[in-house]
Amino acid sequence: MTLPKRNRRNIHVNGVHYHWVKGARGDNGRGVVTVQHASGNGAKLMIDPFGQLRDHELPNVIRFALSAGWRPVEDGPAMWVGFMDSEDPNTRIVLRNVGDPPYWCDPARGNAPFANAKNG
């Protein structure tokens, strides 16, 4: 199923044309960015951001997903990655699972904001 035309943007990475949209239906208000091959076929890339994912950073996230096994022209489940707008390259982009909590509050990250916060 292709991404909706409303608010859809185009991007070219390594000579391949993709469409992307922020906050597609089904992201439960998480602000997930969905990327899909421009043909409208194949597996989607779901980017769960902590912070702001700027347009110029999106190609690096797509390249990371491709190197981690995302096959945008083959049918299959969506690949999930987390993105943080930090300067640390080791935590900027990470693999995620569809059932994981939103990246910004995932206690498994250890350094997640609010992960160690105490109530009261």
Confidence band, pLDDT 50/70/90 cuts, at residue 118: very low
Sequence spans of domains, the chain: 9-105
User: Is the whole-model pTM more than 0.85?
Assistant: no
Query: Hey, is 84 helix, strand or coil?
Result: strand
What angle (nearest 5°) sits at the alpha carbon of residue 105, between those of residues 64 and 119?
Answer: 165
pLDDT tens digits for 12-69?
A: 999 999 999 987 555 555 678 999 999 999 999 999 888 778 888 999 999 999 999 9
Q: What is the pLDDT of residue 4?
A: 79
